[in-house]
């Protein structure tokens, strides 16, 4: 579990310096007062109202949140067409694929509207942001316990959400804490459930470079996919229907194919998931020495098993493509972040900042009374947390890495209804809900993989954690099998219904108390009961001291530096980052240009390689230098870098120039700055984006889907 600490803009810079334009994930409704003059100086030509407005069309209306915020997309036509990353659409593409129609391998292009396929996720448009700080904090006092404080906040949250929600109109709201409880905003969204896949390149383009190039620059990946939002006849959100029509957005982004030069202004809109910019030195030490090494170890074990089976069977390869990608992405991320934090001496810099804070807090009696104990509260909290947090990490990574066990968890409500002798109607209704989702689960489930993962995860859990922090029933079972987890897994899989669709279906036809006796269900319950009984209370105790410390730390830092601009940590709410297209020097005597070309794609090409193979059509077009209107000086630019500040959730975000035109799609960060979620390094940190001209070239020249380009507003 991540422990988010304060979220101020200082990062690793001296507290006396001003914030640099390349750092910061800024709230769009505050740009006018915080950032606009600096944005204009760098090249912005728009007014603040053209960026964010409630009652008029603005850039924010072209930005879509995928699902609950797993990625970002941008509207690129007046007919509901939107662009995002290939890896953001990967799950939908995989779900729609089969051995007969392998859209991951071959790509997918809808040549007419009727060919578009249901994507299986929704998208949301931000309607407005409102400050509710006074309402949330009214009546809160420092004398309150953490539990009482949170209870009161939750009650106000609930009231605000209810006031801003209209389920019939697909309007929802979220209240988000900023600066660790010093500010609160309510975000209101309009959600469209009918989204359809329009186009995706083959993975040999959309995932070119695979794990080898992931998080790396130079990069030559066409990481994009396209979807369309549908609405009812009145342009309102509606569940999927053949009668629905393409949604007409309030705003869509013109697509600019003039090209980019070094130092050109660019800004990125999106939904960054989380940053820990003011994680303390205690948190950095925990991350680098315990948490991240454990995650890397566990994920590597899963990946080895996945990959061995996937290489043997095309059907299994399709089934596990998306699962493997999810595990692999952050396996490499954690490796890179640990190395980056150590290489850049982030621990020492954090420690120096905390020493400065303590000296400032001790400067007057009033400050000492309010802030003097903050750093000590962090020390006490982490001392307690570090005894138990690894158990939480292993629960998330190892226990929840077993598919059958996670599937059994979904039956918890049904078991409760049966145990409490609920009405037959309620029990059957829940059984029908589970039955409706059953086929989707088993479509991408392969029991031999899960059984081997099951054994590996139980083994690592048992051998790596203190026995007194493990479920007693599990420890006894492991001792009974004498540590032979292969044998244990085989026995559980033989007896449990959760690895066999026919058995699950038969049970759901007639639900009974047998559910609670299923060996995998019992094991799942044992792990969860152990966590809530023996682990979580200790972590909650440490959280109580650190929640107050985080809030006061953020507040105190802002008092220390009253002339400084601050932005809140990322928390899956819309943000804007702005900066410039820039090259960089990653190491001594090494220089990286700010763009890559199709020549670099061919330089990496390895026929038959699973990461660097290319379609025949691509090679033909390259050899002919057939770049059409998308080339520049005889080259086809593929990707570019900028010093924008992004993180996970920003994937698919639009890169927008000073005129409000789309010039690229953000998809990754660079290896040298993998510490960026905790410490932004302005000389090293770069965002990697697909050049929009490469995207259009693939759509038009490679795929022959020029009709999609024709519905865009293309700026030549």
Q: Rounded to 5 degrees, what are φ and ψ at 196? A: -130, 145
Of 22, 29, 58, 87, catalytic: 87
Q: Rounded to 5 degrees, what are φ and ψ at 238? A: -155, 150
CA within 13 Å, CB half, 569: 29
- C-alpha torsion angle, residues 643, 644, 647, 649 (rounded to 10): -140
Active site (annotated) includes residue 251? no
Q: Which residues have C-beta within 8 Å of that of residue 99, sequence separation ≥ 6?
A: 314, 315, 318
DSSP H helical ranges for 566-663: 598-604, 616-624
Q: Rounded to 5 degrees, what are φ and ψ at 270? A: 175, -170
Q: CA 415, 421, 427 angle in degrees (round to 5)?
A: 60
Q: CA 24, 25, 31 angle in degrees (round to 5)?
A: 90
Active site (annotated) includes residue 241? no
What are the Cα distances from residue 293, in Å, to 38, 285, 359, 680, 699? 40, 12, 34, 22, 41
265 strand-pairing partners: 580
How would you class 385 by CB atoms within 10 Å of its CB: exposed for 0-12, middle for 13-18, buried for 19 or more? buried
Of 223, 264, 543, 677, catalytic: 223
Contact between 378 and 549 under an 8 Å Cβ cutoff? The reply is yes
Q: In a 3-state reduction of DSSP, which class is residue 255?
A: strand
Dist CA 478 CA 166 (whole Å):
51
What six digits make up the tokens of 578? 């702005």
Q: Rounded to 5 degrees, what are φ and ψ at 134? A: -60, -40
Of 459, 496, 651, 689, catalytic: 651
Active site (annotated) includes residue 98? no
Query: What is the per-residue burial (b if ≥16 Cβ within 10 Å, else e) of 7-17?
Result: bbbbbbbeeee
Dist CA 697 CA 581 (whole Å):
21
Dist CA 617 CA 222 (whole Å):
15
Q: Rounded to 5 degrees, what are φ and ψ at 36? A: -60, -45
Q: How many residues does the chain have?
A: 716
Q: In a 3-state reduction of DSSP, which class is residue 171?
A: strand
Beta strand 195-200 pairing with 595-597: unpaired
Q: Which residues have C-beta within 8 Å of that of residue 292, sequence separation ≥ 6?
A: 334, 335, 337, 338
What are the Cα distances from residue 258, in Å, to 66, 67, 693, 713? 29, 32, 9, 13
Cα of first residue to Cα of last residue in the chain, in angstroms, is 48
Query: Around Cβ 682, how many Cβ atoms within 10 Å?
Result: 17
Tell me, what DSSP letter sits at residue 23? S
List the one residue out of 690, 582, 46 whose CA is nearest residue 264.
Answer: 582
Contact between 252 and 78 under an 8 Å Cβ cutoff? The reply is yes
List the one residue out of 462, 424, 445, 559 whose CA is nearest residue 501.
Answer: 445
What are the Cα distances from residue 286, in Å, to 270, 340, 375, 570? 29, 15, 16, 21
Dist CA 573 CA 78 (whole Å):
25
Q: Rounded to 5 degrees, what are φ and ψ at 490? A: -60, -40
Contact between 686 and 217 under an 8 Å Cβ cutoff? The reply is yes
**Annotated active-site positions, please?**
87, 223, 651
């Amino acid at each position: 579990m991540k422990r988010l600490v304060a979220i101020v803009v200082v990062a690793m810079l001296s507290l006396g310096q001003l914030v640099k334009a390349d750092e910061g994930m800024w709230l769009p409704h505050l740009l006018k007062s915080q950032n606009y003059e600096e944005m204009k100086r760098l090249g912005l030509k728009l007014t603040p109202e053209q960026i964010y407005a409630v009652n008029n069309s603005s850039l924010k209306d072209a930005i879509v949140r995928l699902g609950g915020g797993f990625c970002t997309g941008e509207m690129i036509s007046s007919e509901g067409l939107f662009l995002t990353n290939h890896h953001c659409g990967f799950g939908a593409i995989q779900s729609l694929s089969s051995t007969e129609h392998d859209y991951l391998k071959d790509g997918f292009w809808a040549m007419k509207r009727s060919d578009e396929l249901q994507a299986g996720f929704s998208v949301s448009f931000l309607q407005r942001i409102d400050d509710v700080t006074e309402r949330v904090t009214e009546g809160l006092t420092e004398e309150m316990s953490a539990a009482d404080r949170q209870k009161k906040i939750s009650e106000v949250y609930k009231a605000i959400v209810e006031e801003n929600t209209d389920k019939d109109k697909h309007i929802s709201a979220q209240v988000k804490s900023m600066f660790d409880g010093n500010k609160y905003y309510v975000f209101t969204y309009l959600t469209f459930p009918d989204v359809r896949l329009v186009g995706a390149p083959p993975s040999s383009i959309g995932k070119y470079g695979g794990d080898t190039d992931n998080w790396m620059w130079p990069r030559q990946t066409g990481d994009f996919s396209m979807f369309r939002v549908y609405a009812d006849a009145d342009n309102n959100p509606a569940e999927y229907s053949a009668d629905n029509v393409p949604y007409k957005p309030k705003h869509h982004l013109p697509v600019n194919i003039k090209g980019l030069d070094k130092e050109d202004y660019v800004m990125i809109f999106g939904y960054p998931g989380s940053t820990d910019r003011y994680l303390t030195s205690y948190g950095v030490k925990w991350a680098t020495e315990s948490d991240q090494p454990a995650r890397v170890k566990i994920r590597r074990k899963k990946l080895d098993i996945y990959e061995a089976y996937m290489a043997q069977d095309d059907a299994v390869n399709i089934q596990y493509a998306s699962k493997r990608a999810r595990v692999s992405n952050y396996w490499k991320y954690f490796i890179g972040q640990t190395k980056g934090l150590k290489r850049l001496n982030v621990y020492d810099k954090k420690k120096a900042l905390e020493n400065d804070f303590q000296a400032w807090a001790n400067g007057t009696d009033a400050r000492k009374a309010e802030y003097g104990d903050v750093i000590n509260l962090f020390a006490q909290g982490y001392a307690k947390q570090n005894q138990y947090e690894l158990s939480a990490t292993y629960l998330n990574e190892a226990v929840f890495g077993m598919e059958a066990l996670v599937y059994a968890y979904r039956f918890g409500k049904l078991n409760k209804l049966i145990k409490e002798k609920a009405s037959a109607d309620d029990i059957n209704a829940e059984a029908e809900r589970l039955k409706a989702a059953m086929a989707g689960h088993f479509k991408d489930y392969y029991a031999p993989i899960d059984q081997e993962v099951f054994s590996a995860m139980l083994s690592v859990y048992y051998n790596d954690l203190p026995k007194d922090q493990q479920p007693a029933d599990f420890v006894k079972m492991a001792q009974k099998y004498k540590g032979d987890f292969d044998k244990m897994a085989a026995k559980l899989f033989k007896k449990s219904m959760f690895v066999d669709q026919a058995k699950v279906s038969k049970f759901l036809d007639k639900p009974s108390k047998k559910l609670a006796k299923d060996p995998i269900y019992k094991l799942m319950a044992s792990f969860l009961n152990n966590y809530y009984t023996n682990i979580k209370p200790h972590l909650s105790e440490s959280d109580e001291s650190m929640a107050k410390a985080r809030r006061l730390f953020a507040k105190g830092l802002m008092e220390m530096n009253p002339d400084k601009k601050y932005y809140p940590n990322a928390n899956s709410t819309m943000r804007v980052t702005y900066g410039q297209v820039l090259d960089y020097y990653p190491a001594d005597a090494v220089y990286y240009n700010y763009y890559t070309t199709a020549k670099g794609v061919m330089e990496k090409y390895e026929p038959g390689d699973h990461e660097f193979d290319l379609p025949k059509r691509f090679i033909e077009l390259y050899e002919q230098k057939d770049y059409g209107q998308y080339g520049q000086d005889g080259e086809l630019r593929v990707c570019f870098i900028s010093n924008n500040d992004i993180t996970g959730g920003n994937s698919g975000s639009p890169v927008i120039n000073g005129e409000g035109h789309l010039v690229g799609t953000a998809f990754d960060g660079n290896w040298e700055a993998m510490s960026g979620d905790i410490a932004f390094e302005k000389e090293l940190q770069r965002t990697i984006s697909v050049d929009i001209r490469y995207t259009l070239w693939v759509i038009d020249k490679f795929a022959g889907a020029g009709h999609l380009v024709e519905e865009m507003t293309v700026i030549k």
